[in-house]
Structure 1
Amino acid sequence: MESHGTRRIVNRRTRLVTMASLTVGALALAGCAGGADDGGGGGEDVTLQFWTWSLKEADPKAQAIIDQYEAENPGVTIELAEVGGTADTSSKLLAADRADDTPDIVQVEYRAIPSLVTAGVIKDITENVADNTPYVADNIWALTTLGDQVYGVPQDIGPMTMTYRADLFEQYGVEPPTTWAEYAAAAETIHAQDPSVYIGSFSSTEFEFFAANATQAGAEWWSTDGDAWSVGIDGEESLATADFWQDLVDRDLMSVEPLLTPEWNAKVNEGKLLSWTAAAWAPSVIYSVAPETAGNWASIPLPQWTEGDPAVPFLGGSAYLVPEKSAHAEAAAKFAAWLGASDEGSELLLTLDLYPAGTAGREATLENDPPALMPQQTDFWEVADEIVENTTIPVTWGPNVNVAMGAFVDALSAAALDGGSFRDVYSEIQGVVVDDLEKTGYTVK
């Protein structure tokens, strides 16, 4: 058997479905793949405007990536424009589309892709990236694939992990949990020994985590059947996860507070919050706020709902999209494909402290040192790679995910602080999402 360090990562996803199988009617809203384009192939100089937050203009590592591409593609100039997160970028892109003044490449998180496709503001780039498909695993391409069309090039991925204070777990006599039942038991054991210490925090703002957590349990918050959307936020699998978190909050076994506030940062530094169930990007975030705790942490796969079943979805990550009205769409798609889905580009992305989506970038992590937060965990990248191999559950995001997110965060926060029912919150959001879909013209089962 080949070792992790030398084996070639192969595509093994035989049972994947796409992130969302958009209906023929919904795809029609996106229009045909048109727009002006010189393609960069006629010998003319091309300047590509790139909206991104990962490649910061002031970062010499990011500029080195741009310089490399420009050196290999004379006549192409990449202009970086730093934008906010997905919500800001999506709204700005919609406004730019209406004004016929879009950039050429846009970075957004995966959850925003369906709404941008149905709004008709991004291109189908299936043909543009056809030569690059072998360089990204099938389960990662699924994050940017709607129906049979590819609408983006994956940049980075978030294999779900639990990052925890290994030293304090040992101090409190708690084994790292492999199931959510063990997680709840560990939370109880820790808090009983010191009421000021919690296994972790409960943050209502983590909409994507709760969606992924419910999907791990078998829920489908959005799905399609023919020309109709189905919404399952109040399905029994989903409500069971709401009950789980309700129990921990009601028993004061989780600290109810948002992430990355000064108060949260202080508790992490003081050993009062002992874990974060998120993704493989969590160690770098924790290190940025608690560098003095480095060496005391470790990462393991996310706890399982069903013992022995490691299947999980991805959490977070983003992709490069080409706006429908890009003036240089072909050249933009070529650059996006090189950056996210070529051996050279995906390895260069690793220099930006990302977990690259491309196979070569993933392989390169196996030779890297562990994150600064856990320098002693020499198998960190091997663990993360195995999680990627087990990430076989696609999350389907609906076209009105932003509506769901806003309502969910507000309602869950109120319930967590005031002792309300999490089940009622999930049922309430079910109604909000269904009503919004129907109001905007979708068929809902």
Structure 2
Amino acid sequence: MSWPFALPFGGLLLSIALGPLLFASFWHHHYGKIAASWALVTLAALAWQAGPAAAAAAFIHALLAEYLSFIVLLFALYTVAGGILVTGDIRGTPATNTAILALGTIIASVVGTTGAAMILVRPLIRANLARPHNVHVLIFFIILAANVGGALSPLGDPPLFVGFLRGVDFFWTTRNIWLQTAIVAGCLLVIFAAIDAWRFRAEKPSATQGRGEPVRIRGLINIVLIAAIVANTLVSATWKPGVSFDIVGTHMELQNLVRDALLIVIAGLSLWLTPDEHREANGFNWEPIREVAKLFAAIFTAIVPVIAMLNAGHEGAFGWLLNAVTTPAGAPREVAYFWFTGLMSAFLDNAPTYLLFFELAGGDPKVLMGELSGTLAAISMGAVYMGALTYIGNAPNFMVAAIANERGIKMPSFFGYMLAAGAVMIPLFVLLTLLPIHPLLSSH
């Protein structure tokens, strides 16, 4: 395949980036149709190139083998987290805000960046709504709770779950990039605390006075259900019954089908066991996960020819990219993988970008966890950390911004947020590249 087959994928991602910015109302009402159109163009091109049967088989494989488990996990985490309600008076002081951001960062690898964001964003907004300077609080919340904090497990961030589905060990990122994550998150929390304290001193004390209502956490059954999600995912990684079903060439393994079915059951239990008023108080609705489901169905379809071109190696249309991340001797350049994966994740969404570079590095999880562990670490860090650089880098980013805007906090535009996040994070990524703490440095 030649490069024109990648145009639908590029067009889809540009639509996601520019649609809400240039024609917000039209995009909001028709984003599903726009995404589906790009997916249909992809399938038509595949049918023209390889025949209808091959195009249908590729489409079924993309949806059943890649997309299904991805969206079911997001759906379960979103549903269960939406049933946890934090009430009471929380004053938006620098100490309180830093503690909430730290908590979100810590729990993100357990409940997912979507779960952490949905649990804490509304209490954080309520705590800071009266402050005249509060936008920076939400920007750092997106960076930390909705992105960086999810780097330590497949439950944390969609790209890592994609890697898990490809065979990466569940605790691999926990063991291999905990130090880098601690350094990045620690630096970000210190920077935020300094900025928030400076802003707070310039505000009138009355802006942060509360009524003294005690803080309470309701819907605690959902914490048990989150633990069930974690346990279910772990069991599916270890239980290998050796049973699979062939669907038009796609092998569906029994343990994965059981895992996804149980995730749907857990989400249903959350809806059944949680009082409706908890979700109403959270402002819970299905639109964010509906948007993610539609857009990612199209993304996983449109990326099929891109993956095929990457699999062609140096002779394929993306040979230039392979040359950029590989030395003349054939060894991977870890620093190049980190920056290419990261910067593309910021604009192309981090889950498909992770998948793209995972395949570019060979796609063999055993090799990537072994002799090429530095490459897998670079891909993982780039995809997770730099997903925070734009609103479209990770699914929860837009959710948090939309909720904040709805509650009266005027969030920056697409490019305004990008500049603010980049000013904070790019220097940290340069520091991470230079620090002698990982094989990331072995080939730069």
Q: TM-score if structure 2 supplies the norm length? A: 0.27
Structure with more of its chain in helix, by fraction: 2
Q: Which has the higher contact order (CA 8 A, sep 6+)?
A: 1
Q: TM-score if structure 1 supplies the norm length? A: 0.27
